Amino acid sequence: MIRKQREIETNTYLAFSDLMLNLVFVLVFFIAGILVVGQAGWDQVRYRKAQDAVYAAITHSDLKNKPIYLPPTRRNDPPGVQRWAFPAQKMFKSGTAELSADGKNILVSFARVLKQNQLWKRIRIEGHTQTTRTGTKESWALSAARASAVADAIYSEGGIPSFYLAVAARGGQTPFKGIKFDRENDRVEVVIEYSQKAFQ
């Protein structure tokens, strides 16, 4: 009788130990999943309020021609990044990197909205051109010149200090909607970075 009671107590102890061990494993895997998989989602949440505030300020502003907002799913950007596209047809004189009067006014107004809502850390300006055809040279120079012209307008007339700005030339590598030779591929994208990680 005593032996049976001891066996029951031992079995109960073993069952309880197994249960606790399983719970510890589940908890460890759960925490690891949050740290590894959920970090990007957490970073996105951290910057959501700032992004929403800037988005609202731009969309509710009195800009004559508002830029096109690109959702995060459109690009492989890290968390804490917001993109706005400016079609080249509305910004530059045809086939050049010279801003039109309307284009400059749009950029200056856009820069002032950003300056009034400085919840961001840096602004990256990317020049994009038409898809490169086989056997022709990439349009690095034009995309770089357009990005530089936008940066210059944002800095010199929009009042945003140059140390907040970075310029990149993308040429025709990234079609706007994934469609080659579409007229919307000619554009400049202003990438607002809220996270320090976005530009490390």
The pLDDT score that the predictor gives to residue 11 is 62
Confidence at 131, pLDDT banded by 50, 70, 90: confident
Task: Give per-residue pLDDT as tens, 38-59.
Answer: 544 555 677 888 999 999 999 9
| 101-129: average pLDDT | 95
DSSP state of 179: -
Q: 152 with 146: CB under 8 angstroms? A: no
The pLDDT score that the predictor gives to residue 84 is 97
What contacts 130, CB < 8 A, 6 or more positions away? 139, 172, 181, 185, 186
Q: What percent of the chain has pLDDT over 90?
A: 56
Confidence at 1, pLDDT banded by 50, 70, 90: low
The pLDDT score that the predictor gives to residue 42 is 59
Higher-confidence position of 11 and 86? 86
How is residue 72 written in tokens?
A: 């995060």
pLDDT, mean over the chain: 84
| 73-90: average pLDDT | 90
In whole angstroms, give the CA distance from residue 77 to residue 50: 17
Q: What angle do CA 157, 200, 30 make, to 5 degrees?
A: 130
Residue 191, pLDDT > 80, answer yes
Residue 34, pLDDT > 80, answer no
Residue 37, pLDDT > 50, answer no
Q: What is the largest CA-CA distance in the chain?
A: 99
Q: 199 with 124: CB under 8 angstroms? A: yes
pTM: 0.77
Q: Which long-range contacts (CB under 8 A, 24 or more apart) does 158-163 make?
A: 158/107, 158/108, 158/110, 158/111, 158/112, 158/114, 158/115, 159/111, 159/112, 159/115, 160/111, 160/114, 160/115, 160/123
